[in-house]
Structure 1
Amino acid sequence: MATQGNTTLHKGIPQIGDAFVVIVKTEWNAHIVDKLEDGAIKVLSQQGARYQTLVVPGAVEIAFAVKAFAQKSAQKADAFITLGTVIKGDTPHFDYVCKAVTEGNTALNLTLDVPVIFGVLTVNDEEQAIERIGGAQGHKGEEAAITALKMIALNQSIQ
């Protein structure tokens, strides 16, 4: 997510009226994460998808919440969107958290039968995060929701 990236992402967004997406977001850096969530909800709502948000304390706990919902909830999700913001500090903690979150998301994508979209910002400073919630780098919450809808459509076409 270092650049504006996929300039065609906003084209051909599928409208899947019966789609149900679970957003898992962190409490850390809520002033940024809440804006990521707002962007995701905006896109999901525009496309007629239903959603539910789960809140976890930090980014490392995201994978647990996704797995627990997938295994225990009576409601089956068509996709999960993970949202958080990890801002680099002065210690290697940033590296460990980013690695754990990335590996957790990847493991879920390899084990669940629905997509898990990575919408966690991993940035050097708060300014970079702000650029990604509607600034120069686009809106990564909106992009995560678009990606979820496209992956739901792909998954449904394969089944």
Structure 2
Amino acid sequence: MSGAGALSIDPQEMLELRETAKDLRIAVISSRWHTQIMDGLRAGADRFLTEVGIEHDAVTRLAAPGSFELPVLAARAAQSHHAVVALGVVIRGGTPHFDYVCSAATDGLVKVSVESTTPVGFGLLTCDDEQQALDRAGLEGSREDKGYEAAHAAVATAVQIGTIG
């Protein structure tokens, strides 16, 4: 079951992130497919960034035509931001297209993060059907909030990188 074993953010970590993350520049890149799901993912990411005190004008928001294009925008954003939050959704269809897009986007985002040493919060939902995506989108009635989680991962990692120089 998805969500089992998910990281919970304790109040002490949130306090520490509020003290150390407020001056970070963050890029939030999101796909334009599946509008309702993407609205939920973006709202979750924005909520986390607000909770840790990152000002609205320190966040660059970019729209990718689809999930396949997330890595190229992430690569460019990684050059001038402390962290990138990549948000998208790919829903399985009847062709291998799903596998190719998921693999390319995932591999591309990992490559950006490792080669640039800029954290990329992975908010790409790869689901068998629309209901699975809705359950993870952070919308009312959703069981999970992957946009919030991806923003947390990116910011918390950027803060850790800052401690090691």
**What's the TM-score once normalised by structure 2's chain length?**
0.87
More helix by share: 2
Relative to structure 1, is the Cα distance of residues 10 and 36 closer, same or farther in structure 2, using a 3 angstrom cutoff? farther
- The count of aligned residue pairs is 155
CA distance in 2, matches of 1:54, 1:7: 27
Q: Which residue identity is paired with 2:47?
A: K
* Residue from 144, 149, 152 that aligns with 1:146: 152
Q: Which runs of 5+ in 1 are unaligned?
A: none
1:95 deviates by 0.4
Asked if 1 retains the 8 angstrom alpha-carbon contact of 2:78 and 2:112, the reply is: no
CA distance in 2, matches of 1:98, 1:58: 11
Alignment of 1:45-60 (within 5 A): 45-49=50-54, 50-60=58-68
Q: Which residue identity is paired with 1:142?
A: Y
* Residue from 39, 43, 46 that aligns with 1:38: 43
1:146 deviates by 1.2
User: Runs in 1 of length 4+ with deviation above 6 angstroms?
Assistant: none
Alignment of 1:1-159 (within 5 A): 2-9=2-9, 11=11, 12-13=13-14, 14-15=17-18, 16-49=21-54, 50-71=58-79, 76-134=80-138, 135=141, 137-159=143-165
Aligned identity (percent) is: 35
CA distance in 2, matches of 1:5, 1:84: 22
Secondary structure of the 1:138 match is coil
CA distance in 1, matches of 2:120, 2:93: 27
More strand by share: 1
CA distance in 2, matches of 1:24, 1:143: 15
CA distance in 2, matches of 1:28, 1:150: 27
115-124 or 44-53: bigger deviation: 44-53
1:51 deviates by 1.3
1:2 deviates by 3.0
**What's the TM-score once normalised by structure 1's chain length?**
0.90
CA distance in 2, matches of 1:131, 1:97: 21
CA distance in 1, matches of 2:75, 2:32: 18
Secondary structure of the 1:156 match is helix
1:111 deviates by 0.6
